[in-house]
Amino acid sequence: MDRSQKAESVATLNATFQEVGVVVVTRNLGMSVAQSTVLRGKIRDAGATYKVAKNRLAKLAIQDTDYVGLDEFFTGPTAIASSVDPVAAAKAVVDFAKTTDKIEIVGGSMGAQVLTPEGVQALASMPSLDELRAKLIGLVQAPATKIAQLATAPAAKLARVFGAYATKDAA
């Protein structure tokens, strides 16, 4: 890799760090190509990205970003999972790590907040941004549905009372 390629790689990583909401640093412990392909597919499906980067270049790329605290995690064979959704990358990596011992979660960061491996696992247990939106919409719609039911209920009760009186008078 020549100097211009390294500069381009640092610039690309820096742009990624400027845009994302969470970064998870993993250590690959001899993953096979098949396992790596499965991991990349799961991460892509979650709307996240996964990149193996040289530690020195990653350390240069995190300068002047919120992710400066990740500096200590870039030792050994590391890779970076990132996503705009604060939960997607963590959830995909943690789910994959449960199936194999070939990947280790080193740590992560959510903006300036550095996360331990336990913090990344706690983040992965939270609902994703889409799940939270769905719950919020459900909560907003539920009162409207109840109001509509309450508004029609008195009319329905009144109709039943009139129907009962009509059958009583007819008898």
Return the pLDDT at 25: 94
3-state secondary structure of 121: helix
Asked if 104 contacts 116 with a C-beta cutoff of 8 angstroms, the reply is no
Rounded to 10 deg, the angle between the 117-124 and 88-97 helix axes is 110
Structure tokens at 23: 């970064």
Asked if 71 contacts 26 with a C-beta cutoff of 8 angstroms, the reply is no
pTM as predicted: 0.72
CATH class of 3-126: alpha beta
Residues 6+ apart with CB under 8 A from 78: 25, 26, 27, 28, 52, 53, 55, 58, 106
Structure tokens at 124: 């992965």
How far is it, in rounded angstroms, from Cα 139 to Cα 143?
7
Instruction: Provide the edge-to-edge strand list for the sheet that holds 103-110.
Output: 49-52, 78-83, 22-28, 103-110, 113-115
How far is it, in rounded angstroms, from Cα 52 to Cα 78?
7
Q: What is the mean pLDDT of each run of 10 residues along the chain (171 residues)?
A: 87 89 90 90 92 90 88 90 89 91 91 89 83 78 68 69 73 60
3-state secondary structure of 61: helix
Asked if 14 contacts 65 with a C-beta cutoff of 8 angstroms, the reply is yes
Closest residue by Cα to residue 81 from 43, 122, 42: 43
Domain borders along the chain are 3-126, 127-171
Return the pLDDT at 158: 65
> Phi/psi of residue 170, each to 5°?
-75, -25
